[in-house]
Amino acid sequence: MLKNIKSETDRPEVRELLGYADVAGRVDEDELINRYKTDDRLYLYGYEDDGLIVGLLGFERKEERIIHLHHIAVLPENRLKGYGRGMLLQVIKDLDPQQIIADTDEEGAQFFRNLSFTVYGSADPLTGLESFHCVYNMVDEE
């Protein structure tokens, strides 16, 4: 079951999942958790299975119908079971976004490619590290 977990950020699996989602280790964990707790523009959802949060999805609503994904992660022992895809599809169903945007690494880019996102890659000229900008535009049915 996908649920709002902003008030459950002290759970050990939430911290673990946020660690997996921040692969570059660029953000202090306590600072990140505090941002999710206090910033009304940020949303943090988790997928709970048998009392354990096995996946999470953190995002910001940039405009009414634009979602910028900041974090998506599934516990290693629960990967390749469809949790990531399921969480994203549930958010799409619930919020009806026009566009979803995510910035990620190569592994994340492959996940988004598999979900039919358009993926743009670029390399940092100083470090040579690749990053990927992923975009999915919904088709409005009329």
Note the pLDDT of residue 122: 83
Q: State how beta strands 118-123 and 99-104 pair.
A: unpaired
**Which range, of 19-28, 77-86, 117-126, 131-140, averages the lowest pLDDT?**
19-28
Within 10 angstroms of residue 75's Cβ, the number of other Cβ atoms is 18
Note the pLDDT of residue 59: 95
**Average pLDDT over all residues of the chain:** 88
Helix (H, G, I), strand (E, B) or coil at 99: strand
Whether 30 shows a pLDDT value over 70: the answer reads: yes
E strand or H helix at 115, and its extent? none
Note the pLDDT of residue 24: 56
Band (pLDDT 50/70/90 cuts) for residue 128 is: confident
Domain range annotation of the chain: 2-97
Q: pLDDT digit string (tens) for 44-82?
A: 999 999 999 999 999 998 877 999 999 999 999 999 999
CATH superfamily of 2-97: Gcn5-related N-acetyltransferase (GNAT) (3.40.630.30)
